[in-house]
A and B are shown apart, each in its own frame.
Chain A
């Protein structure tokens, strides 16, 4: 993490912390640093900062470090932390906001795979109304430049009759397109 001058950082990033509190509806200042969230976190072993540290860093206003962290992309949203927090903080909800903020701020060094997957997933939902896995896989692999990715699963799924061959088309396609247009500007 290197050295940080806390009082300077805190002043500079006060508004960031306030926004996180407002948008997540979670008053992270209530945190006791008991680390129960971290104790039960299945992803903690692969994170650069465990969840309780992320909360502490937010309180200290360490915006860049948090948004650039690997942690927020390792978090799989299992909600164990939220369930167990003794101060009733929705830690997983804070992680959600941090991911959205990191994408908006362009801090995606640890997130390329996730973003490409999400975009491909949502592309099929916007186009067909439902997930169409073969379409999603192809787009995702093109984006990542890895054409054989997940082929270990594609063939067995097909052999078991578990792959959809044709996309289903919704009657409410216009409504769906409108939802995407008004939320993520035409989707991605």
Chain B
């Protein structure tokens, strides 16, 4: 049984709640143990990052130090922004001992670096789990064309985020989708930024970036875009109506999390995967799969 420390992050309790629900459901089905980091705090995201360098490291370092109290060797963060902040801790404190001491002087429990950060998709795409998923598929997602969307912060820059895949044309999620019996389509916007961080400041640009992603996915023949980050997902899902209005195009493109697609293929009831929480109704897609 594989065991990981889990840092849910703030958005898993709100906007990305279906990511949490579906992750839990498939983890149970696959015998993966996620141990939640006790008393975790917000990683500070880009706000701390823009405000103060030390603050932006101390917040995620506290989380990683608390993970060291758990019987695990690896920690995962399903949100790409949180992942990137924890990757910065590993990268920067790993090569600068003075900085590490400075950060640790702010913490009650020091960060040692004992628990390593793992890329969330890899919890499911590593060879062992992937073959287990393949064997556990009860309802193959036959005929479903999926545009795998990795977003930017999980994959770039690879040397800083522990990314084990190709940052321009990654395959880890594609391999999962293939194992589920669906078809991962080739498309050019797999790792393009959706501009979620601009939602509050430059909505015009944010809408344009979302529109580009939706348009490329549709033109490549996708039935849905599979997401791996709650911020990207919320941006593409919730903002879609606004984008459609602005550009006069109707996409109605469902944006499920890849964990929801795994759950469907494992035969888990759509309601237990939070499918109803999606803004763009996935009914057509579910009908195609014969599960609704």
Contacts and interface: CB of A to CB of B under 8 A. Distances in A.
B95 to A, nearest CB: 10
A179 to B, nearest CB: 5
A121 B43 CA distance: 11
Contacts of B201: 73, 113-114, 117
A123 to B, nearest CB: 10
B108 to A, nearest CB: 5
A131 B193 contact: no
B90 to A, nearest CB: 15
B157 A90 contact: yes
A43 interface: yes
Which of B41, B208, B209 has the largest number of chain A CB atoms within 10 A?
A: B41
Given A76-B198, A80-B193, A157-B15, A172 B58 contact: no
Interface string A108-140: 000001100110011001000111010000001
A77 to B, nearest CB: 6
Contacts of B46: 77, 118
Given A83-B158, A170-B39, A164 B52 contact: no
Nearest to A43: B205
Given A113-B201, A175-B107, A184 B55 contact: yes
Interface residues of A, number: 54
B202 A133 contact: no
B161 to A, nearest CB: 8
Interface string B202-218: 10110011000000000
B106 A156 contact: no
B48 interface: yes
B205 A74 contact: yes
A180 interface: yes
Interface in B1-23: 10-11, 13-15, 17
A183 B108 contact: no
A105 B205 CA distance: 26
A6 to B, nearest CB: 30
Contacts of A80: 152, 156, 192-193
Contact of A164 (B13, B153, B168): B13
Interface string B142-176: 00000000001100111010000001100000000
Nearest to B38: A171
B51 interface: yes
B72 to A, nearest CB: 20
A122 B51 contact: yes
A83 B156 contact: yes
B117 to A, nearest CB: 16
A9 B108 CA distance: 47
Contacts of B14: 133, 157, 162-164
Contacts of A133: 14
Contacts of A150: 200
B73 interface: no
A122 B158 CA distance: 28
Contacts of A184: 51-52, 55
Given A80-B193, A118-B47, A180-B55, A161 B156 contact: no
B45 interface: yes
Given A100-B52, A122-B47, A152-B242, A76 B193 contact: yes
A162 B168 CA distance: 32
A17 B90 CA distance: 27
Contact of B156 (A45, A74, A79, A183): A79
Nearest to B105: A182
Nearest to B53: A100
Given A46-B204, A175-B107, 9 more contacts: A79-B157, A99-B50, A113-B201, A118-B46, A140-B200, A153-B238, A176-B41, A183-B52, A183-B55
Interface of B: 10-11, 13-15, 17, 39-42, 44-55, 58-59, 62, 106-108, 152-153, 156-158, 160, 167-168, 192-193, 195, 197-198, 200-202, 204-205, 208-209, 238, 242, 277, 279
The 3 nearest A-B residue pairs measured at CB: A78-B193, A79-B156, A131-B10
